[in-house]
């Protein structure tokens, strides 16, 4: 398999937080926030690998930094920070708009699969040169993943 350098287009999304997105404390429900970042991260990984044959393996280090309330508009950003043989690690952040105040962050790992078997399969994509900030995120991702085996 010939390798190629993936292009990180930093795909993002925006959402207005509605009543159905809230927990009993009237702040953004962690399950709903996880759903939003996994969906955005999936689009980022799909675009980076140029295939839809990926699945979410896990969410690492997801944490809220401040509450998000009903009526807030949030922006979700994505950055590929790690590429394994069959995996892609994506840093995800949620910001309040328009102020760009970070409210949550975490990492999502996606695995390229063979559609016929459903098992992990090499994707043949490499990560290009990272900025200093991206390299710091990559180190944080590696620290979370060090308790897991590489896929």
Q: What's 26's domain CATH number? A: 3.10.129.10
47 pLDDT band (50/70/90 cuts)?
A: very high
Which pLDDT does position 2 carry in this prediction? 73
The structure tokens 């993943």 sit at 145
- Give the domain extent around 94: 4-145
At 1 the pLDDT is 66
Quote the percentage of the chain above a pLDDT of 90. Answer: 90
Whole-prediction pTM: 0.93
Tokens of 60: 């690492």
What is the rounded average pLDDT of the residues 103-129? 96
* Region 107-130 average pLDDT: 95
pLDDT band for position 148 (50/70/90)?
low
151 within some domain: no
Q: With pLDDT > 70 as the criterion, what percentage of the chain qualifies?
A: 96
**Is 150 part of a structural domain of the chain?**
no
Specify the number of domains making up the chain: 1
CB atoms under 10 Å from CB of 13, counted, come to 16
Task: Check if the beta carbon of residue 62 is closer than 8 Å to that of residue 29.
Answer: no
């Amino acid at each position: 398999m010939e390798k190629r350098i993936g292009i990180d287009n930093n795909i993002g999304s925006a959402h207005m937080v509605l009543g159905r997105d809230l927990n009993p404390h009237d702040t953004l429900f962690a399950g709903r926030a996880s759903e939003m970042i996994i969906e955005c991260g999936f689009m980022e990984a799909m675009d980076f690998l140029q295939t839809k044959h990926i699945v979410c393996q896990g969410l690492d280090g997801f944490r809220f930094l401040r509450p998000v309330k009903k009526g807030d508009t949030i922006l979700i950003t994505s950055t590929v920070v790690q590429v394994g043989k069959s995996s892609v690690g994506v840093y995800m952040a949620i910001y309040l708009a328009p102020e760009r105040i970070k409210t949550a962050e975490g990492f999502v790992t996606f695995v390229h699969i063979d559609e016929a078997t459903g098992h992990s399969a090499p994707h043949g994509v490499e990560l290009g040169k990272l900025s200093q900030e991206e390299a710091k995120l990559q180190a944080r991702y590696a620290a979370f993943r060090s308790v897991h085996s590489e896929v």
